């Protein structure tokens, strides 16, 4: 079994919970009531997305060679 790595973005929602976006898997978005639930839901969403890609014979993207850096700019 290959190990796949995915970068996820967690956006805290004003009404509570977190929206999770997986940038390298277009349309792969989910929600969790708390941080742990959001992580669990992200894993489930990614696994389902990959399953569909495999069924369709599509390549499986992977973020293992992606580096992320946050820049903060003053106004």
Q: How far apart are CA 14 and CA 19, in angstroms?
A: 11
Question: pLDDT under 70 in the chain at which residues?
Answer: 1
What is residue 75's predicted lDDT score, i.e. its pLDDT?
85
Model pLDDT for residues 7-17, shown as the tens digit of each residue: 999 999 999 99
What is residue 57's predicted lDDT score, i.e. its pLDDT?
98
Region for residue 29 given its phi and psi (left: phi exceeds 0; alpha: psi -120 to 50; beta: otherwise): beta
């Amino acid at each position: 079994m290959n190990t796949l790595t995915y970068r996820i973005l967690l956006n805290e929602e004003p009404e509570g919970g977190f929206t999770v976006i997986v940038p390298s898997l277009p349309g792969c978005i989910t929600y969790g009531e708390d941080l742990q639930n959001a992580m669990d839901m992200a894993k489930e969403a990614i696994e389902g997305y990959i399953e569909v890609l495999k069924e369709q014979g599509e390549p499986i993207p992977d973020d293992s060679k992606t580096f992320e850096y946050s820049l903060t700019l003053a106004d």
